[in-house]
Structure 1
Amino acid sequence: MSGLSTGPAAPAELRTEGLSYGVDGRHLVDGADLHVAPGETVGLVGPNGSGKTTLLRCVYGTLAPTHGRITLDGRDLAGFSAKERARRVATVPQDGSGAFELTVREIVAMGRSPHKRFWETDTADDAARTDEALERVGVAELRDRSFAALSGGERQRVLVARALVQQPSLLVLDEPTNHLDIRYQLDVLSLVTSLGTSTLLALHDLNLAAYYCDRLYVLREGRVVAHGTPHEILTPGLLADVYGVAAEVSTHPVTGAPTVVYLPPGAADGRSAAASGAVGRR
């Protein structure tokens, strides 16, 4: 569709400063300092239970930090109204609920709500932006289907479309490739990173994180234990320390990104022994 754009507003700068969130005396996020520069794609990685989802929920407002603060373009997010935050920050949660009987098109059109007064109905421009977003994420043919009837992967793409029509300056995604086959994993991440917005996302797949993210933050037990470029972060030593796995890391000859190959338990020891034997026979 020419003449329209579901792209974001001017990209924002995000900072968390000493961010903590705790329940019953247990810190799920503990003193996290994080920075997303305008237009940058930053990934959160770490084992299950490391605090990635909790940190993201604090950023997009479903949880209130117990300590520290979050700023957007230097302004404390705690001072934003719910509607103002929704205009600036769009989120794609890890699992979209299918408990309500709305159509796909109605779900995506909800992304326009922060830009409208309560009593305003959808305009022709809203409708056009909604249709464009549906096309961009490849679910236009599902527009009249019930959201509750979709597969997990289809729901995920619909939620990305809703975030697009919201036109945020910060996009926050929690495992956006969940339930997607490899083609749509690549399609969704390529789309998200092409928007030009500031993006913070959690990913389990370290190879996708290495290719699509400008920088990575590694969480373990709620703490940031490392941050830097994918080449700086994804090393065999860090993977062994944080994930407890042996791995080989090389630079891919086509993408130039680090590529992680995981080794089964004992494989690294066996390979080392074989190499030592070969050296000894020379």
Structure 2
Amino acid sequence: MRYPRQDYEFEVPDELVAAEPAPRRDASRLLVLRRAGGLEHRAFSELPGLLSPGDCLVLNRSRVVPARLTGRKATGGAVDLLLLSESAPGLWRALGVGVKPGLTADVGDGVSASIEARDGEAWLVRFSTHDVAGHLKRRGLPPLPPYIRGKRKRAGLGDARPEDHERYQTVYSREHGSLAAPTAGLHYTPELLAALKARGVAVAELVLHVGLGTFKPVVADDVAEHVMLPESYEVPQAARDSLRAAKAAGGRVVAVGTTATRTLETVFAGGVLAEPTAPLRGETSL
């Protein structure tokens, strides 16, 4: 069966692209598709009433790394880097805008970044410090999606804001490692999660670190031929137990977003509900 890419292409009116989040995370809209048919326009805060006791909500608690660095060339031109991974002390793979081999840019606090060579879809970037992680903590920016940054630019707003560091994280995020937020989880609040638990909905947490594959455009004419780059995942014992309990009781397993979905598809395909269990840590290319 073919899945033509053009069937999934559409234009998003600029007025429907938000430049900033709603004041309350759970004030966003929620579209409900009933299995029996029909659509309902609801508020995200209504989610507890849409789930049932015994259901299991699955969250991805990966935390976004402030992996974006901006800098200036000696000529004054702008440089934009998204750091992917460390190849050696001070040497990183990165995506870059406004760069070429041999270029050196000032990325703040007396630290420079030199572009050495191409490395597949990325660049090899050598920093003047080995403590690049520390530099990211001080100067790194959240890697907001281009459509948000573009909307801000068109609206004459700043490219980055201090509040982005927390608003572009889920309230339950813990382990650092993602290059983009698992955005479906951005709408949850501590109060909403408490209401779900009070209703008898189990909450299971797993980890999938969003990687370079999120930024790789789909160019294949058939979407099924698109190659997904691997991303690392971990399903803790507590999450596995919650999944098993929900399935045994006839409850629904509700994955929050594509990152939780692909992790569940991977471990279920490997027999997570069977004995002996499949490894609950690894990489997935689903």
State the TM-score, normalized to the length of structure 2. Answer: 0.23
TM-score scaled to structure 1, two decimals? Answer: 0.23
